[in-house]
Structure 1
Amino acid sequence: MDVRAPSPPARRPAAGRGGLDLHELEVPEAAVLPFAVGSFQRIGALSLADFPHRHTFYEIVLVTAGRGRHVVDSQPWPITPPHFGVIVPGQVHHWEGARGIEGSVLLFNEDFLVRHPEDVAVLQALPGLSWLSPSGAQMAGLLGLASEMERELRAGDRGHEGVLRAYLHILIVRAARIAGALDASASGAGTGAVLPVSELVDRFLRLIAAPGQGSRTLISYAREIGVSPGYLHELVREQTGLTPGRLTRRRRVLEAKRLLTGTDLTIRQVSDQAGFGDPAYFCRFFRRETGLSPGEFRRRAGGIHHDPVV
């Protein structure tokens, strides 16, 4: 890779024996932007990693050719290009049977979005649709933007940082339009787009989405955000239709599912990493939320088979 371009994500093992690998976006020099773009081959082998892992950074993939499956949070998505996909920090994903994959990959840290903070909310919303299938013209536009970003990054001309941020913002907005149009056509509603939530609610959603947050309380989140617990509760319920408690439980269940299907951790270890002090309580909680015990879910989901030692 060109010396001006960030290195491919470095592999970092997650805490805990048998845990998920955690990939970080590293750059060769402190002055280099936390951003990388290129083909799957140029970014490196980890761009098509066949083992469950997660990132500390955002990844956008534009798939133009190939076959296999892309598995995101235990959901397999068949590869039938063209595709647009987003993987946000904390999500667990891997590629299965990937053959002949071509296209572009974009990697960037959240601080790269500092000039367009509203893009964070859009990126957090897009994985709900996970695997978009743009039209030929839409995909050509997205690929054109990726190509321009790669050229700017490799050239490193004066002002290229601002150009890269602007192109990325345009790409995210266009992806949101595609997602909104697809969502509307599926529901029979008028056209729309993925709408960002308020800054406070967006920050709360990002906090609860981070790994290792399972044991935190609403009071601690409110203190970090700088508002009262009551105000945060009402604001979150107004913006999302769900209480902070319900959203937090959903995130804890999702994190447990990621660990159950992506690692060989025992049930006790999953309970600990998901923020539950008592494995027995974790099993009751998980069954109440999903209708299955952790072991039953692991077997049905086809995750790594490991005796569920509690």
Structure 2
Amino acid sequence: MKDSATPKKYTIKNIKKSQHNAVDFNFYTFEHFLKDAEHLTKSHRHDFYTFILTVDGIGSHIIDFEEYEIKPRRLFFINYDQIHSWKIGGPIQGKIILFSKSFYNLIYTGNSDIRSDTALENLPTYVDIPEDRFPSWLSICENIEYEFTRSEKFSEEVICLFLKTCVLKMERIADDFRSENNEADHKSNVVDEFKILVNKNFRELKTTKDYAERLSITPNYLNALVKESLGKSAGTVIKNRVILEAKRLLSHSDLTVRQISLELGFTDNSHFGKYFKNVTAVTPDTFRKNSINN
């Protein structure tokens, strides 16, 4: 644990000084964003979404305890409240796009894939953009930057549509690694919906049966789909999400273990301790002590 204080939660307005009085959207080149940004090397949260498109550079992102290399043509997506920090190994070129839920929802579409911010919940942490598709991504970023700096009539609406385009294009790249037949698509949709439900309800719902009921399928069928798609059981996915949040709070907050257990929906502190140890092989107190020493 870098420090005992709860990680600072940044808004679009206060994460970095900007010439634009931006509240719901901002655009930066990588080079400019990282100037005077020592505070961003420390663990922090975002109160907004972020697309990060890297053109070149050396370094990595640490996102929810996982470290991801910065590579050319790599597109990152950071969701609300994810614990995030930077390791910069040298100059980095790229584009950074910050936007809020309200900005993304500025334009409503009837397409369920992009009509609201819930569409972003299923985006992967990153994709590597194929070389032949990369110019189109740079073109989108240039158009967004143009509209943002010129701030003409309907500029916000145009940017919003470009953001929805980014969501679809990122999802399309991710889909290239999935089966394209209808049955696989159906299964993938169920698993995707399951992951969204887990992310929203892990504090209250902790069994496969709970989520199967929400999805109107049997627990055995849900478990089979999740295992086929993710290589792990539905119960493991649920536990991993609970444990991830527990690790966040143990590493980056001053809450007591009992307070954390209540925050995560456990009424019995000893039950939380057994639950945590069953997954991590250590007690919450031991994990916290080890985090402090790392």
Instruction: Tell me, yes or no, if the aligned pair for 1:179 and 1:193 is still in contact at 8 Å.
Output: no
Residues 304 and 275 (structure 1), Cα distance of their counterparts in 2 relative to 1, 3 Å cut: farther
Per-residue deviation, residues 239-293 of structure 1 (Å, max 9, x unmatched): 7857998765443211012234445766456445545455433221112234443
Normalised by the size of structure 2, how large is the TM-score?
A: 0.71
Please state if 1:207 is matched with 2:194.
no
Please state if 1:234 is matched with 2:216.
yes
Instruction: Tell me, yes or no, if the aligned pair for 1:86 and 1:123 is still in contact at 8 Å.
Output: no
CA separation in 1, counterparts of 2:118 and 2:66?
A: 22
Gaps of 5+ in 2: 227-232
1:86-235 correspondence to structure 2 within 5 Å? 86-114=77-105, 115-116=108-109, 118-119=113-114, 120-127=117-124, 130-181=125-176, 183-184=177-178, 189-190=179-180, 204-205=197-198, 207-208=200-201, 214=203, 216=204, 232=214, 234=216
Please state if 1:50 is matched with 2:41.
yes
Partner of 1:257: 247
Residues 153 and 134 (structure 1), Cα distance of their counterparts in 2 relative to 1, 3 Å cut: same
Instruction: For 1:258, give the aligned amino acid.
Output: R
Please state if 1:24 is matched with 2:17.
no
Instruction: For 2:216, give the aligned amino acid.
Output: E
Instruction: Tell me, yes or no, if the aligned pair for 1:62 and 1:104 is still in contact at 8 Å.
Output: yes
Instruction: For 2:6, give the aligned amino acid.
Output: G
CA separation in 2, counterparts of 1:80 and 1:99?
A: 12
Per-residue deviation, residues 115-142 of structure 1 (Å, max 9, x unmatched): 2563344432223xx2322122322221
Instruction: Tell me, yes or no, if the aligned pair for 1:121 and 1:197 is still in contact at 8 Å.
Output: no
Residues 99 and 274 (structure 1), Cα distance of their counterparts in 2 relative to 1, 3 Å cut: farther
Instruction: For 1:125, give the aligned amino acid.
Output: N
Residues paired across the two proteins, number: 265
Instruction: Tell me, yes or no, if the aligned pair for 2:74 and 2:126 is still in contact at 8 Å.
Output: yes
Instruction: For 2:293, give the aligned amino acid.
Output: H
Single out whichever of 100-109 and 281-290 deviates more from structure 2.
Answer: 281-290
Single out whichever of 78-87 and 287-296 deviates more from structure 2.
Answer: 287-296
1:40 to 30, 34, 40: 30
Once superposed, what is the RMSD of the aligned Cα atoms?
4.0
Deviation of 1:70 after TM superposition, in Å, equals 1.1
CA separation in 2, counterparts of 1:260 and 1:233?
A: 32
Secondary structure at the aligned position of 1:253 is classed as: helix
Instruction: Tell me, yes or no, if the aligned pair for 1:74 and 1:261 is still in contact at 8 Å.
Output: no
Identity %: 23
Deviation of 1:85 after TM superposition, in Å, equals 0.6
Residues 230 and 84 (structure 1), Cα distance of their counterparts in 2 relative to 1, 3 Å cut: closer
CA separation in 2, counterparts of 1:244 and 1:196?
A: 15
Residues 258 and 160 (structure 1), Cα distance of their counterparts in 2 relative to 1, 3 Å cut: same
Residues 294 and 61 (structure 1), Cα distance of their counterparts in 2 relative to 1, 3 Å cut: same
Single out whichever of 252-261 and 50-59 deviates more from structure 2.
Answer: 252-261
CA separation in 2, counterparts of 1:261 and 1:199?
A: 28
Instruction: Tell me, yes or no, if the aligned pair for 2:77 and 2:123 is still in contact at 8 Å.
Output: yes
CA separation in 1, counterparts of 2:218 and 2:43?
A: 31
Residues 76 and 282 (structure 1), Cα distance of their counterparts in 2 relative to 1, 3 Å cut: same
CA separation in 2, counterparts of 1:180 and 1:297?
A: 36
Instruction: Tell me, yes or no, if the aligned pair for 1:122 and 1:176 is still in contact at 8 Å.
Output: no
Instruction: For 1:257, give the aligned amino acid.
Output: K
Instruction: For 1:22, give the aligned amino acid.
Output: K
Normalised by the size of structure 1, how large is the TM-score?
A: 0.68
Deviation of 1:96 after TM superposition, in Å, equals 1.9
CA separation in 2, counterparts of 1:57 and 1:275?
A: 25
